């Protein structure tokens, strides 16, 4: 396959050399004459393990060349990678001028190219950049996206010092595209690369690098804060975190990484508070750990705001315990939501087959007595009773009996706090707490008639 790389900096040099190693003919393009000359002399533009040998080998085998002529690079390649820098401003915004200038140049080169061309944005950019790049290329070339060219997002996940190994042995290869032609081309391009090939929505691919790196930063800071607490107590922090990382079932796993409602229950609130208190007692500042609870409280507020936005007075809460299959109400976040809504004058009805008021004892009973002293008046184990008398249904856990709510009870407003439904065609209004766009029924777009002029009492 013939490939061009626009930008011969860190990512561009590594990508060009690795693609040549995989047997593709590569043309590098850069506005820097020095970088172009280095590649044409068989020398890399960066210092990086293994890169010097790869560039020399590719050059000697006539699989890698470089030019300042963007027209030549586009016309002699099937895929053009955009790998220019996206520096940050002092405020944290990205400077996309280099991206847009390269897009303009590629568009001008496409004016007189007959073959279908694929442009791949590999630079780190925010969601929406792919769309803008396509618009710039279409305007500059006079051609149509999807017919004459397409733009995909193919983020890189390279670490300095191990970039070549990361390129050739990634945990996964990610493509964001709306073009079957491009997907097939990229499957062919990366066919010899191990790891899962994932083709997804363009915006999903665009945001992944930011999610990954922010989480990596969070892990480092969390580890440091735990280390600081351990040091103050004379505990070996490396032993602590070594054991922590051995748990692949919960600690290092996908289990908790599901956007949704706030956490609750008897353990997480109590134990995270205890660790914060411990740090405070030793005068250890732990801003990340201290921010966990406020963030959790914010998610409760988000749920309340969504429910209030529906403008309906009668709200049915489906599930009161903190998760399915239990009657544990201790620190259940939906209890706080119900308490707040009742205080604002909403008519609340609760369905939970697991919670029997007469059997509540100990901490459970004390918690409910303080939060919802009249719970016995609004809770039932009759699902039909709650659904039929309410306009808004709040799904709080993944009980199996909630899966067919949209089919059995059309034209209701559903607020989903747990992603009970992956994709639906529902005649009523649906909204997820941390996701959207999964209800494809046209009725979703109908405006709601509010029966409450205000939600404050």
Residue 120, helix vs strand vs coil = strand
CA 30, 33, 39 angle in degrees (round to 5)? 70
Burial of residue 18 (CB within 10 Å: 0-12, 13-18, 19+) is buried
- Among residues 13, 18, 245, 267, the one annotated as catalytic is 267
Separation between Cα atoms, residue 349 and residue 344, nearest integer Å: 14
Q: Is 267 a catalytic residue?
A: yes
Q: Which residues pair with 380 in a beta bridge?
A: 351
Pairing mode, strands 314-318 and 392-395: parallel
- C-alpha span between 163 and 52 (Å, rounded): 12
- Provide the angle, in degrees to the nearest 10, between the axes of the packed helices 202-233 and 237-246: 140
Q: What is the DSSP letter of 379?
A: E
Residue with structure tokens 């060009």? Answer: 16
* Of 207, 174, 13, the residue nearest 94 (C-alpha): 207
Within 10 angstroms of residue 364's Cβ, the number of other Cβ atoms is: 18
Q: Which two tokens stand for residue 362?
A: 């100990």
Find out whether 392 and 413 touch, Cβ atoms under 8 Å: yes
Question: Which of 294, 296, 287, 293 lies closest to 224 in space, CA to CA?
Answer: 287
**Beta strand spans in 284-442 (E):** 314-318, 347-351, 379-380, 392-395, 413-416, 429-432
Decide if 206 contacts 176 (C-beta within 8 A). yes
**Which of 218, 322, 321 has its CA nearest to residue 268?**
322
For residue 358 the two structure tokens come to 């007469």
Other CB atoms closer than 10 Å to residue 223's CB: what's the count? 16
User: How many residues would you count in the chain?
Assistant: 457
Do residues 435 and 418 make contact, with C-beta atoms less than 8 angstroms apart? Answer: no
**4 Rama sector, left if φ>0, alpha if ψ -120 to 50, beta otherwise:** beta
Residue pair 36/68 in contact (Cβ under 8 Å)? The answer is yes
**Which residues are tagged catalytic?**
267
């Amino acid at each position: 396959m013939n490939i061009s790389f626009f930008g011969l900096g860190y990512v561009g040099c590594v990508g060009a050399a690795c693609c040549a190693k995989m047997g593709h003919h590569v043309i590098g393009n850069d506005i820097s004459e020095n970088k172009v000359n280095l590649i044409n002399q068989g020398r890399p533009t960066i210092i990086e393990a293994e890169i010097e040998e790869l560039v020399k080998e590719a050059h000697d085998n006539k699989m890698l060349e470089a030019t300042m002529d963007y027209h030549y690079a586009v016309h002699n390649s099937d895929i053009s990678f955009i790998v220019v820098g996206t520096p940050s401003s002092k405020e944290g915004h990205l400077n996309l001028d280099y991206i847009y200038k390269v897009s303009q140049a590629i568009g001008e080169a496409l004016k007189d190219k007959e073959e279908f061309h694929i442009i791949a944005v590999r630079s780190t950019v925010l969601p929406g950049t792919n769309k803008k790049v396509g618009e710039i290329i279409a305007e500059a070339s006079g051609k149509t996206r999807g017919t004459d060219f397409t733009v995909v997002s193919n983020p890189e996940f390279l670490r300095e010092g191990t970039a070549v190994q990361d390129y050739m042995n990634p945990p996964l290869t990610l493509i964001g595209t709306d073009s079957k032609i491009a997907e097939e081309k990229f499957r062919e391009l990366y066919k010899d690369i191990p790891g899962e090939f994932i083709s997804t929505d363009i915006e999903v691919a665009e945001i992944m690098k930011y999610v990954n790196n922010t989480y990596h930063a969070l892990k480092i800071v969390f580890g440091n804060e735990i280390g600081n607490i351990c040091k103050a107590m004379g505990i070996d922090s490396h032993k602590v975190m070594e054991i922590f990382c051995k748990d692949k079932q919960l600690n290092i796993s996908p289990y908790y990484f599901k956007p949704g409602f706030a956490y609750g229950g008897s353990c997480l609130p109590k134990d995270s508070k205890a660790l914060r208190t411990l740090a405070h007692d030793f005068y250890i500042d732990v801003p990340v750990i201290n921010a966990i609870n406020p963030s959790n409280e914010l998610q409760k507020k988000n749920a309340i705001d969504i429910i209030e936005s529906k403008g309906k007075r009668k709200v049915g809460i489906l599930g009161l315990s903190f998760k399915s299959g239990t009657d544990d109400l201790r620190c259940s976040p939906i209890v706080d939501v119900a308490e707040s809504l009742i205080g604002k004058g909403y008519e609340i009805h609760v369905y939970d087959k697991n919670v029997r008021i007469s059997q509540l004892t100990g901490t459970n009973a004390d918690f409910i007595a303080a939060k919802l002293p009249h719970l016995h008046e609004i809770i039932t184990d009759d699902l039909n009773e709650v659904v039929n008398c309410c306009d808004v249904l709040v799904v709080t856990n993944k009980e199996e009996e909630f899966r067919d709510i949209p089919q059995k009870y059309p034209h209701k407003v559903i607020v989903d706090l747990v992603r009970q439904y992956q994709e639906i065609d529902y005649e009523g209004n649906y909204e997820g707490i941390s996701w959207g766009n999964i209800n494809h029924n046209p009725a979703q777009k109908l405006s709601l008639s509010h029966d409450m002029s205000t939600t404050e009492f």
